[in-house]
Amino acid sequence: MNATQLRGVGRAPCKGCHRRRLVIRNIAEAIRPAVALKNGNARVGVPEGTPVVTPQDLPSRPRRNRRSETFRSAIRESIVSPANFILPIFVHEEGSNNIPIASMPGIYRLAFGKNVINYVAEARSYGVNQVVVFPKTPDHLKTPTAEEAFNPNGLSQRTIRLLKDSFPDLEVYTDVALDPYNSDGHDGIVSDAGVILNDETIEYLCRQAVSQAEAGADVVSPSDMMDGRVGAIRRALDREGFTNVSIMSYTAKYASAYYGPFRDALASAPKPGQAHRRIPPNKKTYQMDPANYREAVREAKADEAEGADIMMVKPGMPYLDVVRLLRETSPLPVAVYHVSGEYAMLKAAAERGWLNEKDAVLEAMTSFRRAGADLILTYYGIEASKWLAGEK
């Protein structure tokens, strides 16, 4: 015997020695160089040179649950359906033709009338039965106080009536904000000193929401980010008998760089100031700072307390953490807006062949659902629904 063997003579086997020997053996196997079989003894079905190794002792192998599409689809946690989509539609009445939006390939300002009906009918044929209306207001109707927003015969109100008359079961959402009607390009009334007036703006937002409800809207959606507007709108709707009209609040709407193409579509960007009036060049005094996370909880608590039925995060993919935050903070349904800049980026990359558009878009939609969104506002509503139905 050698010295090592002699040291073990006469000792009772220690508790756990067998386990340690197994561990040592496994470590030895782990560090043993992998060796490929020589020609003539090659394994079948793997490339020549594939190493021969001892299988790892793994009780859990997550890849077993990914082995087939049948099983992957059976246990999939986040499902995307056309029922989750809200389709934004831009409407104009500057002629009978649809007008392409250069920064949003494939998206148009739809001519009021049959063109709107045809577009929505196509969406419905693929299972998308929710739309949100954005009117392109002619410049001559825009004023610093945006009274056109609550004109009962305004383009938005007429579009709502057209849609509900044509498709009574269509869920019609609206945008409640003054920027499409404001000659200064802001969501609220701007004082000469450049201050966005909060409470004065809310008075007109309430009138706007009521006019939309009178036209037949199912859901009014304040996107303005004025303090207290959800509660004021809820009271105004209830006072006029519209207790069944819902409010989808833009709860966490960030002062984002991703809105550019949308503002092209509606010509609603802030305008330059004048000698006697200072117009803020951006919307940072009322939209949220992109660096802030906890602030979204404050906005969510306020909106829920004031009577919001749905809370929204805007933009989408850069703010998935905020979507998850609202999902975990509130029992209310959560919506997310896959905004124009996100759409434009995907389109641009796909046009250059840098991305598979279908796969990238459906992955984006899945990420919204995985983060906790119930509703997705997306310009890809029709295309994504076609892809989900198996169309190429």
Residue whose C-alpha is closest to residue 282's, from 193, 184, 197, 192: 184
Report whether 133 contacts 159 (CB < 8 A): yes
User: Which of left, alpha, beta for 50 (phi over 0: left; psi -120 to 50: alpha)?
Assistant: beta
CA distance 163 to 43: 66
CA distance 207 to 237: 9
Neighbours of 297 (CB within 10 A): 17
CA distance 282 to 141: 22
Catalytic residue among 142, 283, 314, 347: 314
130 token code pair = 């929710």
CA distance 381 to 361: 10
Q: Is 142 among the catalytic positions?
A: no
3 token code pair = 């010295």
Q: Is 314 among the catalytic positions?
A: yes
Contacts of 198 (CB under 8 A, 6+ apart): 188, 226, 227, 228, 286
Report whether 177 contacts 154 (CB < 8 A): no
CA distance 98 to 111: 5
Catalytic residue among 136, 253, 283, 347: 253
Percent helix / strand / coil, the chain, rounded to 5: 40, 15, 40
Q: What is the 3-state secondary structure (H, E, C) of 186-218?
A: CCCEECCCCCEEHHHHHHHHHHHHHHHHHHCCC
∠ CA 222-223-228, nearest 5°, is 60
By annotation, the residues acting in catalysis are 253, 314
